[in-house]
Structure 1
Amino acid sequence: MDSDDIDPKFHKNAGVKRVVKALFYSFDGLASTLKHEAAFRQEAVLAAVLVPLSFLMRVSLVEHLFLVASIILVLIVELLNSAIESVVDDISMQNRPLAKRAKDMGSAAVLLSLLNCFICWLSVIVVNWSSFF
């Protein structure tokens, strides 16, 4: 069956049931990633430490949002990277140049999100250094 043959108005579930099912699919994705991806577990632990720490810092609301959003961004990018890796590995475990490129690009995205998080945290700490003491 081609994707052209699928009626875009047809869904197995609709309304609230569809939203609830999507929520549970999301929880399944988080649980699977926590179970199978060491990098995501490490970043989740980092988030579990840094998010509560951000509430203890005397910073503006906007700065606080930058701190928390930068951490959430790392988790989002890691989830997408893990999805890319899973799909590539499911298709073939052979060494293939395009598969390597896709995995390397996902890894680079994670690196950039971590760099972004570091810069956000460092900037907020430097700007507010004197108010911490």
Structure 2
Amino acid sequence: MKPAVTKLTGFSHFFAAAGYSLGGFRRLIKEAAFRQELLFFAVSIILLLAVGATLSELMIAVVLFLALFAIEALNTAIEEVIDRISPEISMVGKHAKDLGSFAVLCMLAACGLFLMFTIGKHLLLG
């Protein structure tokens, strides 16, 4: 018979969830791609500030990068699960990893396009 699992509620649940999120961040920071994306984020914010981006433009950039980080985390999770359940090379595993990688690429493109448009607008229109 399985032992009963006590479900956390209230502040206990909040702190447990925060701990799981911190664990996810600690795992993700080990990924070179994520560290590069963090650098891309920092440089982007500095550039946006340098060209005089508005608060709304800065907030859009932050939201886009948060979405990028979330998709990078999901991509890493997919890779870990595939490597765990299918250590041998399989087409299904390859497709899953390729799709996760494509999702990250799409978000990188979204971030890059927004930055090019916003920085270009501020440089051309001053």
Fold-level similarity (TM above 0.5): yes
Q: Greater CA deviation, 47-56 or 103-112?
A: 47-56
Q: Which residue of 2 aligns with 1:30?
A: 25
1:58 Cα offset (Å): 1.4
Residue of 87, 94, 107 corresponding to 1:113: 107
TM-score between both structures, scaled by the size of structure 1: 0.82
The yes-or-no answer on 1:99 pairing with 2:93 is: yes
Unaligned runs of 5+ in 1: 1-9
Q: Counterpart of 1:59 in 2: which secondary structure?
A: coil
Q: Which residue of 1 aligns with 2:66?
A: 72
Unaligned runs of 5+ in 2: none
User: How far apart, in 1, do the equivalents of 2:47 and 2:120 lie?
Assistant: 16
Identity %: 34
Q: Counterpart of 2:112 in 1: which secondary structure?
A: helix
Q: Greater CA deviation, 115-124 or 56-65?
A: 56-65
Question: Could you list the per-position Cα deviations for residues 97-128 of structure 1 after superposition, in whole angstroms to 9, with x for gaps in the alignment?
Answer: 11111100000000000000000000101111
Q: Which residue of 2 aligns with 1:4?
A: none
Pairwise CA RMSD: 2.1
Alignment check: 8 A CA contact 1:67 1:120 kept: yes
Q: 1:42 to 1:26 in 2, by over 3 A?
A: same
Q: Counterpart of 2:29 in 1: which secondary structure?
A: helix
Question: Could you list the per-position Cα deviations for residues 26-50 of structure 1 after superposition, in whole angstroms to 9, with x for gaps in the alignment?
Answer: 0000001112x11111112222333
Q: Counterpart of 2:57 in 1: which secondary structure?
A: helix
1:130 Cα offset (Å): 3.9
Alignment check: 8 A CA contact 2:51 2:123 kept: no
Higher RCO, 1 vs 2 (CA within 8 Å, ≥6 residues apart): 2
Alignment check: 8 A CA contact 1:71 1:117 kept: yes
Give aligned pairs, total.
124
